[in-house]
Amino acid sequence: MTYVCLTDADREEMLKTIGASSVEDLFRDVPAGVRFDRPLDLGDPLTEQEIVERLEELAGRNVHAGEEISFVGAGVYDHYVPAVIDAILQRGEFLTAYTPYQPEMSQGILQAIFEYQTVICELTGMDVSNASGYDGTTVAADACYIAKHATGRTKIVLAETVNPQVRQVVRTYAPGFGMEVVDVPHRDGVTDPDELRAAAEGAACVIFQQPNFFGCLEPAPDLAAAANDAEALPVAHVDPVSLGVLEAPANYGCAIAIGEGQGAGNPLSYGGPHYGFIAARAEFTRRMPGRIVGETTDVAGQRGYVLTLQTREQHIRREKATSNITTNQTLLALGGLINLCWLGPEGLREQAETCMALAEHTKGRLELPLLFPEQTTFKEFAIRVGRSAQDAIREARTRGVNPGYPVGRDYPGMDDAILVAVTERRTLDDIELLAEALAE
């Protein structure tokens, strides 16, 4: 077997030192009644070459984004992932390191996380970010947990235009938190601030998404104001790429900003691993879940970095912790950091503008009615195809184009609607092929 490091001679010597007669003898404390006494029903051990062959065969049966022209988004996006990311993340000193509990051994990871925390704060306008959450759905649950302890209230208000998976995850966590969830339905593809205000009465937090799941721009400052008026914490779920052109949530009254980081620096990878981000105003620093890196000095006065405020976390606070998260998504978050450094402020703005420009152009070329024609959109928009969206998608795929996500899967009365995402990876030729594929 490939990963064995001991020879039989080694084992003999070691057993002698231990004073045991055999390896079997080392398991003498395992009661006979729980011993597993047959071989595991797994296959033969494979050589590396055979492993690669097996995995290539499986991979070969998937239709990936390089094999069809893909306009699928709905929470996960085919943005360009630059080569420098892997060049760094594949280095063993990062890839194979543990959580940086011994800071003198881990200044590389610690400083990188500090830099990541800084860029997330810069994008969102907030004062504190953690080192990452699992994904864009669980950070919404994290925000509700913060809000419960900060306000003492138990009602969560969710805009219906928030990603359905985010809402589903919040609903899964809420009962254990002792919280209840209320939805605010969309009005023509966006959220009405007055309706939100009414629902927010007595709420711990209000979560809305910008741009929302339909790709539409919400009246975010008004939604935040409505939440603040009800003394509920406004929580904005934001697309990091959009923050190249859209205002930072802290600057229009939000208490917490969350989101899915995948579009900024991670490959699609069939849904994971990715990273969620969560950032908040300074007053919530000690309520933040997960890991936080802080700056300090060593005995010689040299600047260095350590995990800090760890007493809030599970491993010291135990049953009173701010959350139970230990292993998070550090490597993916570092991918996000490298991506944002590679783009820089100009690059991020240009990427956002290119997406908007191409999306607008696509609307024009498709000549199909928009689901929400009155709304301004960012990089995604929904069209009506006049027949079953699932059928239209299936047919388009036979022509090598995947036109998007069938919105009717999550929202009633929209079975003829497709959510089309246009990133900077789509060319003008791609868009022509989409138009042809959808034309009847």
Partner 1 sequence: MKLVFEKSRPGRRAGRVPRPAEVTPPAVPDGLRRQRPARLPELPEIELVRHFTELTTRNFGIDTGFYPLGSCTMKYNPRVNERVAALPGFRDLHPHQDEDGAQGALELMHDLQEMLAEITGLDAVSLQPAAGSQGELTGLMLMRAYFADRGEGDRRRTIVVADTAHGTNPASVTMAGYELQKVATDPRGNIDLEDLRTKVDESTAGLMLTNPSTLGLFDEHIEEVSRIFHQVGALLYYDGANLNAVCGISRPGDMGFDIVHINLHKTFSQPHGGGGPGGGPIAVRDRLEPYLPVPAVIRDGNRFRMDYDRPKSIGKVRAFTGPFGVFVRSYAFMLAWGRELRTMSEDAVLNANYLLARLKEAYELPFDRLCMHEFVLSARNLKREHGITALDVAKRLMDYRFHPPTIYFPLIVPEALMIEPTETETKETLDAFSDAMLAIAREAAEEPETLKNAPHNRPVGRLDEVKAAKRAIVRYRFEDHPDLSAEPTAATAGEGPKGV
Partner 2 sequence: MAAPESYPDDLLYHPEHDWARIEDGEAVLGITWYAQDALGELVHFEPPEQGATVAKDGIYGEVESVKAVSDLISPLSGEVLAVNQKVVEAPETVNGETYGEGWLIRIRLADPSETESLLDAEAYKALLADQ
- Contacts to partner 2 from residues 307-346, by CB under 8 A: 310-312, 316-317, 320
Paired strand residues for 187: 190
DSSP β-bridge partners for residue 236: 208, 257
In angstroms, what is the minimal distance from the CB of 311 to partner 2? 5
Q: Mask of contacts with partner 2, 255-294, x by CB under 8 A?
A: -------------------------------x--------
Task: Compute the distance between CA of residue 122 and CA of residue 125 in angstroms, rounded to an integer.
Answer: 5
User: For residues 122 and 336, is the Cβ–Cβ distance under 8 A?
Assistant: no
Q: 256, 233 in Cβ contact below 8 A?
A: yes
Query: In terms of CB distance, is 172 or 201 closer to partner 1?
Result: 172
Determine the 3-state secondary structure of 161 from DSSP.
coil
228 binds, among partner 2, partner 1, none (CB under 5 to 8 A by kind): none
The residue among 58 and 439 lying less far from partner 1, judged by its C-beta, is 58
Burial category of 427 from C-beta neighbours within 10 Å (exposed 0-12, middle 13-18, buried 19 and up):
exposed
Write down the least CB distance from residue 237 to partner 1, Å: 12
- What Cα–Cα distance (Å) separates residue 351 from each residue in 87, 356, 363? 22, 9, 19
Question: How many other C-beta atoms can be found within 10 angstroms of the C-beta atom of residue 223?
Answer: 29
Shortest Å, Cβ 133 to partner 1: 9
Partner whose footprint covers residue 285, from partner 1, partner 2, none (CB < 5 to 8 Å by kind): partner 1
Spell out the residues 6+ positions from residue 174 whose beta carbon is closer than 8 angstroms to its own: 141, 144, 156, 180, 181
Cβ within 8 Å of residue 126, ≥6 positions away: 120, 248, 249, 250, 256, 257, 279, 280, 281
Residue type, 16: K
Smallest distance, Å, CB 350 to partner 1?
6
Q: Which is nearer to partner 1, 231 or 310 (CB)?
A: 310
Of 87 and 316, which has the nearer Cβ to partner 2?
316
Window 194-213: residues binding partner 2 (CB under 8 A): none
Count of all residues that appear for the chain in the document: 440
| Pick 238 or 293: Cβ nearer partner 2 | 293
Q: Least distance to partner 2 from the beta carbon of 312, Å?
A: 7
312 binds, among partner 2, partner 1, none (CB under 5 to 8 A by kind): partner 2
- Residue 426's region, left for phi above 0, alpha for psi from -120 to 50, else beta, is beta
- Using CB distances below 5 to 8 A depending on partner kind, what does residue 264 bind out of partner 2, partner 1, none? none
Backbone torsions φ then ψ of 112, nearest 5 degrees: -60, -40
Kindly state the smallest distance separating residue 308's Cβ from partner 2, in Å: 8
Q: Supply the minimum distance, in Å, between the C-beta of residue 203 and partner 1.
A: 19
Q: Cβ–Cβ contacts within 10 Å for residue 321, how many?
A: 15
State which residue, 255 or 307, has the beta carbon closest to partner 2. Answer: 307
How far apart (Å, rounded) are the C-alpha atoms in residues 406 and 397? 13
Minimum distance of partner 2 from residue 322's CB (angstroms): 10
Nearer to partner 1, 198 or 324 (CB): 324
* Residue 110 beta carbon to partner 1: minimum distance, rounded to whole angstroms: 9
Judged by beta carbon distances under 5 to 8 A according to partner kind, the member of partner 1, partner 2, none in contact with residue 375 is none
Instruction: Kindly determine how many residues on this chain lie close enough to bind partner 2 according to the rule CB under 8 A.
Output: 7
- The continuous run of DSSP H or E covering 418 comes out as strand 417-421
**Residue 40, Cβ neighbours under 10 Å: how many?**
6
Q: Name which of partner 2, partner 1, none residue 398 binds, using a CB cut-off of 5 to 8 Å depending on partner kind.
A: none
Which residue number, 168 or 198, has a Cβ lying nearer to partner 1? 168
Our CB check for partner 2 shows the closer of 130 and 209 to be 130
Residues that bind partner 2 (CB under 8 A): 286, 310-312, 316-317, 320
